[in-house]
Structure formats: structure tokens, C-alpha cells
Chain A
Amino acid sequence: MTLTVADIDRWSAEAVREVFHAGTARGQATFEASRQLSTLSVFDSWQGATAEARKHTNASIRQDLDNHGNESLMVAQAAGSAVDGIEHVQSELRTLRHDAAALRMTIDSSTNKVVPDSTFNGPPMEALIAERQLQPRLDAIVVEANTVDQELATAINMADGDIPVPLTFPGTPLGAPPAGHNAASGQWQLDSSRGYDSPNPPEGPFAPWRPTNLSEKLATGPSTGLLTTDKTGLSDTADGFDLQQGYKIRITGGQDTGITKMVQGSDGKYYQARWIENTYAMQTTKVMQGTGDLGGITGYPITMPWKPVSLNEIANTAALYPGKTFYLPDGCGGIIPIVNGTLPTPTVPVMTAQR
């Protein structure tokens, strides 16, 4: 249901701020209880089945406490964000009311419409112009208010257990790539579909990895621009032409390397992450350029079909153009420059959840 301006007027940022403080305090208290339980030494000296059972129960209680603490903190976080949203929405509404009054207009709180106020006695066209000017601002405020309301409702539903709390992985990004692999050309991918009680790697068979469905824009890097090189025999030829070539690289998917590691999630369970190497394709654009006395005459370009290439092939092609930069897409909208056929120093990879 869409909120009305009257609903927004009734909102109290202070009340929600109290929820934030209460949620934060409760979450911290729960984590503290969990921590103290883990350091209880009363059972340390016990032996036998009873002690084992007690230790197991302790672990379960700690897990429940941690889960509860996470939920409390999530509600607190949503409440804190909602406070900012409420204050912003109400501030925008105050400004709009002020501007409307200057034009002898007012806001109908029950219908969310800008209308002439009781003192308006100008021509109808003047009211229409003022309404055209103010109504879009009111509509934007109501949209923002609904977003804030929805976010807070989602957090409360999570706390009630009506919808699941999203799984998070403390400590992400996951860390360096495995030995012999480059962070620029692959990533840890997490299989969050199945959690394990133990950090020991599970026995196979494993679900096959599904290629990442990236949009064309995210998957494709920018062109190198038209480059010329004397390493192919077609640069500034005796016949008076130079073959110039431009290159684009795109991610076509990923290849499971079979390298795995276990990662603990916010629910205390362990999940398997796999190292996925990106697979690539490259597209070449070619143009003939006149040289010497034919300078100034250029041919029309042609574009070659996309061709699957390995990282080594990309590096080898880039090495044909010393000092020129090739752009490897990172799949997140960023690019990794390759100069002289060399990838940059590996960066920490970002872990992605399996879709």
C-alpha cells in the first residue's frame, strides 16, 4: 500500500532511533553471552559421554546466540538506515511545503496531490503551472518514503523469522588466489546452496559450476584503439600501407579448476568456495592506413569474429605492441590493464555467490 503524506507526517525518527539503540545493545549482549559460553571452563575437567553431550549442547546454544545476535544487529542496522531516510524525507517535505506556500499552493495530505490553497485567487493557468512544477517533487518524496518503509519492514520480518536472514561471510573478500593463479583472471566462487557443519572439505561428487551470466557491458572491456606494430610485417610497408589493428576482450564464462576451500558463514556453517578461472574471447578490428605520400588516405575498417583466447594468447598479442595497453574486463565493470604482455600485480579477489 502506498504511503500518504499524512503517514509521513506521523513518522517519528526518534522512535525508530530507539529501535536502533535497543537492537544494537541486544545484539552486542547476545554476542557477549556467546563469547562467555565459549570460555566456560566448568566442563573442561569432565570426561565421558555426559561431558561430550554437554559440550555439543554448548556449541548449539552458542550457534543460536550468534544467530540471534546477527538478527538483532541486522534490525538495528536497518533501523539506523531508516532514521536517516525518515529525516531526509521529512526535511524534503518541509522544503516542498515552503515552496508551495510561496506559490499559494498546498499539499493534500490524504491524496498526495499539490492543490491551490484557500487564499489562491489567480487564474487557473497559474495554478496549473505551479502544480506541474511541484507535483513531480512530491511524487519523488513519496517514492523515497515507500522505499524507506519497505526496507524497515523487511528488517522486521527478518527478525520475526518471516523471511530468512541473508547469509553473509565475515572476512570477505576471501583472500589471495591459489598458487599459480592470478587474481586478475579468476575469482573464488561460493556455493551457498549447501552448508556443512565441519570445515573439512566435503566428499564429491560436486555440483557442476554454472557459467556466470554477465551482461555484455560488464563482460566486455574497452578497445585498445587502433595500434600499429612493426612485429607483423605489415607496418609501413614498401607498398605504402600500414595495417592498424584494435582489440577488445570479453569474458565468456569460467572454468572450474577443481581448487576449493571452506569458508564459514554468518550461520556458523561451512561453505565450499571454488577457484574459477575466467575464459575469454578477443575481437580484432582492422584498418588499412596509407603511409608516406599516401598518408591521409584511410580504408574502411573490418571487424573479425570473436575468437576464444587463453590468457597467454592475450598476453602474447599485447606483447606485439610494446607500451600499449590491452584491457581485460574484471566482470564487475572494472578493467585490468595489460602492458607489454604482463598482467598487473595480483589484487585480492572478490568472492561471488553462486547464482
Chain B
Amino acid sequence: MTEGITHSFRTALRLSAAGAFALTIAVSVWMLVTSPGGKTADCATAQQMWTYYQSQLASARSAALKSNGDNDAIAVKYQTMLNELQAYANRVTTPDLRPRTDRIVAINREMFEQWKRWVAQSQAPSPDSATPTSPDTQFGNQFAANARKLKLAQAELEAACST
């Protein structure tokens, strides 16, 4: 009987020790990812991500004017930029920042799909390709809607980083 009680006591002790250890690990990990240092680093990554995004847009504009204007080559650059944005987003681990960086990537992916549709519709022969066409107006509206979402996501990210 005494031996049975001792065994139960030992088991309870082991379980409570294991639970305490697991809790310690979990708390440590949580503290690590939410520590001021981790968030600061993630905010810096988010800032780099936005700077990179804007530099790629400027680069794509000037390259399109200088080159022979190959839409396939532009699409490759667009895809490369998306991959790079995703890589930046993957480096962000702070729980309240990561969804926002992922959202910025997702909006850009949607804009890429719209851009591809704009290209496809615009290449069809038209009486006058020098002036705006119906696909231009349609894409312009979609572009503005997504630009607005992008601006909002970026503002939320900045706000999260400033608190």
C-alpha cells in the first residue's frame, strides 16, 4: 500500500516537472519572438521589404523604356520581385507583424495576376494602340483598388511597429 502511494507520488512529481519544463520552453520561445529586440528586427525587415518593393517599381519603369519592351521579360522581373517580397515576409516572426507582411505579398500577387490579364487583353489588335483602351480603364480601376489595400496594409504595419 505504502509502495503504491510512493509510486503515485513519484509519477505526479515527474509529470509536474515535465509540465514545468514544457511551460518554461514555451514561455521562453514566446518571450523570444515578442521581445523588443525581435520586434525591432522584424520592423527593420518590414521597412527593407517596402524599400525594396519601391526600388523594383522604379527600376521596372526605366527598364521598360530603355529596352525593346518585352512583356515576358517584365513578367520574369515581376515574379522575381514577388519571390523576394515573400522571402522578406518569411523572415518576420513577430505574431502581430507577420500577417501584415504576408498581406502585402498577397496583394502584390493579386496585382501581378491583374497585370497579366491587362497584357493579354492589350495585345489584341486595336484600331489605335496609342491612346487608352477599355482594358486600360478596367486595369486602372483594379490597380487603384489594390493600391489602396496596399497602402492600408503598409500603414497598419507601420502603426504596429510604432507601438
Contacts and interface: CB of A to CB of B under 8 A. Distances in A.
Contacts of A223: 65-66
Contacts of A307: 129-130
A282 B126 CA distance: 13
A246 B131 contact: no
Interface stretch (A116-124, A172-180, A232-240, A251-259): A232-240
B31 interface: no
Contact of A302 (B112, B119, B130, B145): B119
Interface residues of A, number: 40
A247 interface: yes
A138 B64 CA distance: 45
Contact of B132 (A243, A246, A302): A243
A79 to B, nearest CB: 47
Contacts of B64: 246, 285, 287, 301, 303
B34 interface: no
Contacts of B60: 300-301
A304 B129 CA distance: 7
B130 A299 contact: no
B47 interface: no
A289 to B, nearest CB: 9
Contacts, number: 109
Given A240-B144, A302-B119, A317 B61 contact: no
Nearest to B140: A241
A290 B61 CA distance: 14
A305 B118 CA distance: 13
B130 A239 contact: no
A293 B130 CA distance: 28
A320 B131 contact: yes
B123 A304 contact: yes
Contacts of A305: 123, 125, 129
In order of increasing CB-CB distance, the 10 nearest A-B pairs are A303-B69, A301-B64, A297-B147, A298-B57, A240-B144, A241-B144, A223-B65, A288-B143, A304-B129, A239-B144
Interface of A: 223, 225-226, 232-234, 237, 239-241, 243, 245-248, 282-288, 290, 293-294, 296-305, 307, 309, 313, 317, 320
